[in-house]
Chains A and B, each alone.
Chain A
């Protein structure tokens, strides 16, 4: 699924864009627990989370995750934006709940990690 498709499906905002927004992501992982995210071997995925702080970006950096999607209109701080830019991490944000977000992406073909 292309990043641009994810934006369309979720009516999402691009908070921090990347050079190539047309590249495809196959897997999604949804969690607010960063230690859980840090156990993943899969890397080419989108992290869907309601946890919106520096640690979310740091976790993505350590786990080689290149796209983060915040649900429920979370406010992304300047610090987080700076960290994301520094590490080439794309940040998206949508207004839907985690449940609806995950449901829509699954329905449209995004696959789970497990």
Chain B
């Protein structure tokens, strides 16, 4: 069992992807299947961009064992008022700055969902959002 934490800073686009990159390196060292690595790092990267863009930053908790990787992204952001809409492809509340970065087209959460085996989103408006995602290595 391995536990790691990363801090994501609001608006820090220069470092968006750092956590995903570290996770990728760790999984490669552990010889995890390349397709599985891609799934989790794409999902975490999208979530990282979300935390930086929408949620005033946050913390990423990574728990890894032989069977799976579990990534929890917690923020103290504005929360998601309507999850069903946020999960719709094309729905976005992103700023111009986020769009300049190549994101903000309403594909983040659908992309995350497509890449993980389990996804749980807990959110409260004005309090924050927790996104938990799991990818199983053996399925």
Chain B, interface SS category: helix
Interchain CB contact under 8 A, B38 and A79:
no
CB neighbours (8 Å) of A43 from chain B are 38
Among the listed B46, B102, B105, which residue makes an inter-chain contact with A51, where contact means beta carbons less than 8 Å apart?
A: B102
Among the listed B20, B41, B103, which residue makes an inter-chain contact with A34, where contact means beta carbons less than 8 Å apart?
A: B103
Tell me, rounded to whole Å, the shortest Cβ–Cβ distance linking B41 to chain A: 5
CB neighbours (8 Å) of B21 from chain A are 58, 61-62, 87
Asked if A56 lies at the interface with its beta carbon under 8 angstroms from chain B, I say yes
A51 and B13 CA atoms in complex are apart in Å by 14
Asked if B111 lies at the interface with its beta carbon under 8 angstroms from chain A, I say yes
Among the listed A53, A63, A79, which residue makes an inter-chain contact with B102, where contact means beta carbons less than 8 Å apart?
A: A53
Q: How many interface contacts (CB-CB < 8 Å) are there between A and B?
A: 68
Tell me, rounded to whole Å, the shortest Cβ–Cβ distance linking A113 to chain B: 15
Interchain CB contact under 8 A, A55 and B111:
no
Tell me, rounded to whole Å, the shortest Cβ–Cβ distance linking A89 to chain B: 12
Q: Which of A51, A56, A59 has the most chain B CB atoms closer than 10 A to its own CB?
A: A59
Q: How large is the interface on A (under 10, 10 to 19, 20 to 34, 35 or more residues)?
A: 20 to 34
Interchain CB contact under 8 A, B20 and A55:
no
Asked if A11 lies at the interface with its beta carbon under 8 angstroms from chain B, I say no
Nearest residue, chain B, Cβ from A51: B102
- A39-B114 in contact given A34-B101, A61-B21, A63-B38 (Cβ < 8 Å): yes
A53 and B16 CA atoms in complex are apart in Å by 11
Interchain CB contact under 8 A, A55 and B16:
yes
A36 and B110 CA atoms in complex are apart in Å by 11
Asked if A38 lies at the interface with its beta carbon under 8 angstroms from chain B, I say yes
**5 pairs, A vs B, C-beta closer than 8 Å:** A53-B101, A62-B42, A63-B42, A64-B34, A87-B21
Residues in A lying within 8 Å of B, measured CB to CB: 32-36, 38-39, 43, 51, 53-56, 58-59, 61-64, 79, 87
Residues in B lying within 8 Å of A, measured CB to CB: 13-14, 16-17, 20-21, 24, 34, 38, 41-42, 45-46, 49, 100-103, 105, 107-108, 111, 114
